[in-house]
Structure 1
Amino acid sequence: MRRGISIAAAVTVVALTASACGGSDDEASSGGSKDPKDISGTITYWDTSDAATEAPTYKALIGKFEATYPKIKVDYQNVPFTDVEQKFKSAAKSGKGAPDVVRTDVGLMAEYASLGYIAPLDGTRALKDTADFQSVPLNTTKYKGKTYGVPSVTDTLGLLYNKKLLKKAGIARPPATWDEFIADAKTVKRRTGAYGTYLNPDSYFLLPLLYSNGADLADPSAKKITVNDAAAVKALTVAKKINDEASMKVDFANAYQNMQAAFKNGKVAMLVQGPWSVGDDLSGTAFKGDEGNLGFAPVPAGAGGRAQAPTGGHNLTVYQGSRNLDASYLFTRFMTSTQSQIAIAKGTGTLPTRKSAYTGEITADPKIAGFQPIVEHTARARVALPQVGSLFTPLAQNYVKILQGDVSVKGGLDATADKFKDLLPGYSIG
C-alpha cells in the first residue's frame, strides 16, 4: 500500500532555499546549547518511502540539509517498509548497525519505546513548535508520558466512492452510518448492476467498525482484553452483514488486489481505503481522465454515533544508542519543518502533519484536500501497547473464519481473546 506521484514533481524540491527549510537562527532556538552550525558528524538515515516514487524527494531534502549544515553528512539508506521492523530491532538489540534516524510506522512507536530502542525527544532540538502539529499524528509519538518521535506524514482510512455510480443509483450523498452503507450498497447493486462495496478482510480495515461501535482490542489502563466484549461482537456482526449482503464476493487469497481492481474499473461503488490507494484508483477506467468522479468521505459511524478510523503514517525517531545525537536531533527537526513537509507533500502526495504546511498549493491536490478533514475529525491513535502489532495476526485469522462462516462472531472473538492473553501477560479477558 504505497503512495506515489510523478518523480518529476520531486524536482521542485531542489528549488527550495536553505533558509526556507530552516535556517540557523530558527534551529538555534529549538533546544540544545551548541550552535547548530558547529554540530558535526555522520548520521545514517533509514528511509522506508517508496524507492522509485518517493525517495527522490527525500534525497533532495537531504541535499539541502547538508548544504545548510556542511559539517554533517547523511548516509541515506532506503529500507523496504516490509523489512525495516525486524532489521531495526535486530540492529538495535545487538547494538550493531542501527541507524541514527529511522522513519517509523506509527504503529511501532510503543514497541520501540518500551524496548529502549528510540530516544525520548522532549527538550531536544528535534521538537519545535509542537502546537503546529495536528493533534492526531502528534498523539502517535507518545508513550507513557514521553515523546519518542516527530510526526512526518499522516493518513487514515476513509470512504472512497464513485460519484457517478451513486448518482445513477439515486443516492444523493455518501452514507453516514454503517446501516446506511449496507442499504446504499444494496441500492447500487439493484439499480446499476455494480456492487456496492468490496469488504477488505484485513484486520486493520476492521478497526473503523470496532472504533465506531465503541470497541477496541484492549484497555491498557484496566489491563483488560476487550476484543470479545459486547461492543466488539456488535461491530463484527455488522462486518459479517456487509460481507454477506453488501459486498462483491471476496477472494480471500487476493482480496486487496481484487478490491482495488474492482473499484478503479467501476465494478464497485464504495471502498474503505486510504490515501495511498488514490494514485492507483485514478489509473482505472472509472476515474482516468475524470478525477472529479472520485469522492472522499469519512468512514461511516456506528452504534456509538462516531465515525473513527486508525491513524496511519510515519514519525521520525532517533536511535537511543546513536553516537551523534545532536546531529540526529537537528536532522529530525529539519526534515519535519513546515517547508520540508510542504516539499514532501508536493513531491509524494502524502499528507503533512503540520497545520502550517496545508497551504493553498498543497490543498490543491484533491487527495490531500479530501483526506485532510477526515484525518482531523475521525482519525485516532491505536491502543498504545508494545504488542499491538502482534495482536493483528490472531485477529485477522479469526476475522476471516467469521466472514467465511466457519465460526460464530462470538466464537471467533473469544478465540482471538484467548490468543491475546498469551501476548499480553497480566491482562484479563473482559
Structure 2
Amino acid sequence: MPRNIRLAATASALALALAACGSPAEEIPADGGGLGSAGAPVSIRVIANDAFAKQWQDQLVPEFNKKYPNIKVTVDGVPYNDQLAKTMLELTGTEATYDAVLADDPWLPQLAKTGALYDLKGPELAKWNVPDYDWADFNPTPLAAGQWEHKQYAVPVRSNLLLMFYNKTLYKKAGVEEPSAETTWDQYFADAEKLVQDTDGDGKTDAWAVGTYFTKDPLTPTIWQTVLNSGGGRLLDDKMRVAFNDETGVKALQTQVDLLKYAPPGASTYQFNEPLEAFRQGKTATMFMWGSVFKGTAVDKDTTTLSPDEVGITTMPAGTTGAGAHRGIWTAGISKKSKHPAAAWTWLQWVTSKEGEKFTAKAFGTFPARNSTLDGTPPAAWAKPVYEALKSGYEVVSKGQMWRPRLPESDAVQQILALQTSRAMSGQATSQQAVQQAAQEITELLKSKGYGQ
C-alpha cells in the first residue's frame, strides 16, 4: 500500500464528480500530504513580497529546516504592485502553484472572499496543530489583520505600524524639544518652522522638517487617514458608508498637504524610497514611515549615516482624541488547493511561533506580533525603545481603528483615495474638492457592491 492513504470512497467519488463538471480537483491525502521523510521529502511553495522573499529563502528556510528537514520550502518573491493580482489569480484558478500566500493588511478580505483559504482555527487543520502554538500570546492588534467575518484566515508574519521617526541631532541644533506621544499636530507645525534650518552656517538651508509619502501611491492616503482617525474621524461607518466627507476629513487631508511646506525641494514626488533616503542622510528631522525600516535607518551602516542614539521613534502627532498610528501587517494563510496542507501549516506555525518570531526579530529586525516577544529581552539594545513605541502604537491603532477599510473592495477604495490625495498634493484640487470627489467615487463603488443599502 502506498504511504499516502487515499481518502474514503465517498470523497473520491466527489472528486471525480467535480472533475466531470469541468473543475478538476485532485484529492488531498488523508494525512494532508505528510511532513515528508529523508527519502521522500515534501515540497511546498510560498508567494511573498520581493522586499523580503530572498531573506526568507536564504536565512529563514534553513533555520526552519533545522527542526523540519524533510519539508522543502521555496519562497517566490513578487513585486508589491503585482502581488495582489497574482495571488487572486492563484486562489481563483484551477491549478495550484502555491501552498501558502501572503496578504498585505487591506488585501485579506478580498483573498478570503475567494473561499480558497483555510480558517486556521477551524477543524480542517486542527489535526496538524502544534500543541504549544499559543494563540492567546498574539497581540490582538496584529492578529486582527488576518481575521475576516469572525474567522482567522491568516496570521501575522511581519508586523508593522506607521510611526514617527525623528533625528535627535537636528532637533537639538534647532533648539526644539524632542517629540513624544503627547505632541500635538499644532505643536508639530510650530516646531517644523524651526526644523527647516542651515546646519553648517553657510547661509543655505540644508535640513528640512519632514519627509513622507506625497505623490500618487496607495500608501500615500494612510498619512491623512491616520490624522483623520486621531481626530475622531473614520473613512467608513459601520454600514460601510462614506464618513470622511466633512470638516474633519478636509482638515486631515490639509494637514498632509501642509507638510509639504516644510519638506525638501522636490518632495511632492516622494513615495517610499525618497523620504527614507532623505532621513537616512540627515536631511530631514522627522519622517512618517513604517516602523519596520528602523534597523536599516538607525543601525545598518550600509544603508544609513545615522546611529541608534541619533534616531528616536514614537507615535504620530496627536489629534483631538489621541496619538496616531496606522496598521500595516503582512499575514500569511494556507491555500485549500494545497496538496500538502500539513506541511504548509507546520511551516506557517513555526514561522509565527515564539521560536520563529524571535529568530526573525534578531535576524531581520522584524517587528513582533507576540506579547511574549515584545515584553521579553529584545534581540539588541536598539530594539528596546522601538518595542516600547510598537506596544504603544498597537494600543493607539486598536483604540482609533487605524487601518484601511476591512472589505473586499479595500484596494479599490485606496486607489480612489490615492488619486484624489495626489490631486490635493499637486495643487490640482483643494483639499475640500479632493475629499468631495473621493467621497462621491467611493460611494458609487460601494453602492454598486451592495453596501450601505
- 2:101 aligns to what SS in structure 1? strand
> 1:265·1:285 contact (CA, 8 Å) conserved in 2?
no
The counterpart of 1:79, out of the listed 60, 77, 80, is 77
Q: How does 1:178-327 map to 2 (within 5 A)?
A: 178-189=185-196, 193=205, 194-201=207-214, 202-219=220-237, 221-244=238-261, 246-282=262-298, 288=305, 290-303=307-320, 305-327=321-343
Structure 1 residues 286 and 38: alpha-carbon distance in aligned structure 2, compared to 1, 3 A threshold: closer
Is 1:406 the equivalent of 2:428? yes
Paired residue for 2:65?
Answer: 63
Matches of 1:60 and 1:92 in 2, distance apart?
27
Matches of 1:236 and 1:311 in 2, distance apart?
19
Matches of 1:287 and 1:332 in 2, distance apart?
32
| Cα drift, residue 325 of structure 1 | 2.6
Matches of 1:163 and 1:86 in 2, distance apart?
41
- 2:269 aligns to what SS in structure 1? coil
| Cα drift, residue 263 of structure 1 | 1.7
Matches of 1:320 and 1:292 in 2, distance apart?
47
RMSD value, Cα: 2.9
Paired residue for 1:9?
Answer: none
Worse overlay, 392-401 or 327-336: 327-336
Structure 1 residues 257 and 146: alpha-carbon distance in aligned structure 2, compared to 1, 3 A threshold: closer
Paired residue for 1:146?
Answer: 151
Structure 1 residues 286 and 138: alpha-carbon distance in aligned structure 2, compared to 1, 3 A threshold: closer
Structure 1 residues 47 and 240: alpha-carbon distance in aligned structure 2, compared to 1, 3 A threshold: closer
Matches of 1:410 and 1:206 in 2, distance apart?
13
> 1:160·1:297 contact (CA, 8 Å) conserved in 2?
yes
- Residue 44 of structure 1 aligns with an amino acid whose one-letter code is R
> 1:266·1:285 contact (CA, 8 Å) conserved in 2?
no
Matches of 1:36 and 1:265 in 2, distance apart?
51
Paired residue for 1:7?
Answer: none
CA deviation map 1:127-164 (0-9, x unaligned):
84111001110111111111111222201011101101
Paired residue for 1:418?
Answer: 440
| Cα drift, residue 287 of structure 1 | 6.1
- Residue 206 of structure 1 aligns with an amino acid whose one-letter code is W
The counterpart of 1:173, out of the listed 154, 160, 178, is 178
> 1:157·1:310 contact (CA, 8 Å) conserved in 2?
yes
> 1:162·1:294 contact (CA, 8 Å) conserved in 2?
yes
- Residue 138 of structure 1 aligns with an amino acid whose one-letter code is L
In the alignment of these two chains, the number of paired residues is 389
> 1:287·1:294 contact (CA, 8 Å) conserved in 2?
no
> 1:43·1:327 contact (CA, 8 Å) conserved in 2?
yes
Matches of 2:47 and 2:386 in 1, distance apart?
25
| Cα drift, residue 397 of structure 1 | 1.3
Matches of 1:154 and 1:334 in 2, distance apart?
16
Q: How does 1:3-152 map to 2 (within 5 A)?
A: 39-40=35-36, 41-48=42-49, 50-67=52-69, 70=70, 73-82=71-80, 83-123=82-122, 124=126, 125=128, 128-152=133-157
| Cα drift, residue 36 of structure 1 | 10
Identity %: 22
- Residue 198 of structure 1 aligns with an amino acid whose one-letter code is G
> 1:45·1:101 contact (CA, 8 Å) conserved in 2?
yes
> 2:35·2:343 contact (CA, 8 Å) conserved in 1?
yes
- 1:160 aligns to what SS in structure 2? strand
Matches of 1:164 and 1:285 in 2, distance apart?
20
For structure 1, list consecutive stretches of 5 or more residues without a partner in the other structure.
Answer: 1-33
Structure 1 residues 153 and 186: alpha-carbon distance in aligned structure 2, compared to 1, 3 A threshold: same
> 2:420·2:438 contact (CA, 8 Å) conserved in 1?
yes
CA deviation map 1:407-430 (0-9, x unaligned):
12221111112221343223459x
Matches of 2:334 and 2:32 in 1, distance apart?
17
> 1:43·1:328 contact (CA, 8 Å) conserved in 2?
yes
For structure 2, list consecutive stretches of 5 or more residues without a partner in the other structure.
Answer: 1-29, 37-41, 200-204, 215-219
> 1:177·1:302 contact (CA, 8 Å) conserved in 2?
yes
Structure 1 residues 55 and 81: alpha-carbon distance in aligned structure 2, compared to 1, 3 A threshold: farther
> 2:91·2:111 contact (CA, 8 Å) conserved in 1?
no
Paired residue for 1:29?
Answer: none
- Residue 63 of structure 1 aligns with an amino acid whose one-letter code is N
Matches of 2:328 and 2:129 in 1, distance apart?
21
- 1:78 aligns to what SS in structure 2? strand
CA deviation map 1:68-117 (0-9, x unaligned):
xx4xx334132224233222211221121331112322221111111213
Bigger relative contact order (CA 8 A; separation at least 6): 1
Structure 1 residues 35 and 319: alpha-carbon distance in aligned structure 2, compared to 1, 3 A threshold: closer
- Residue 450 of structure 2 aligns with an amino acid whose one-letter code is G
CA deviation map 1:211-248 (0-9, x unaligned):
212223222x323112323321221122233334x333
- 2:274 aligns to what SS in structure 1? helix
> 2:212·2:289 contact (CA, 8 Å) conserved in 1?
no
Paired residue for 2:413?
Answer: 391
> 1:105·1:312 contact (CA, 8 Å) conserved in 2?
yes
> 2:161·2:390 contact (CA, 8 Å) conserved in 1?
no
Matches of 1:284 and 1:179 in 2, distance apart?
34
> 2:158·2:367 contact (CA, 8 Å) conserved in 1?
yes
- Residue 50 of structure 1 aligns with an amino acid whose one-letter code is F
Matches of 1:59 and 1:141 in 2, distance apart?
22
Matches of 2:146 and 2:278 in 1, distance apart?
36
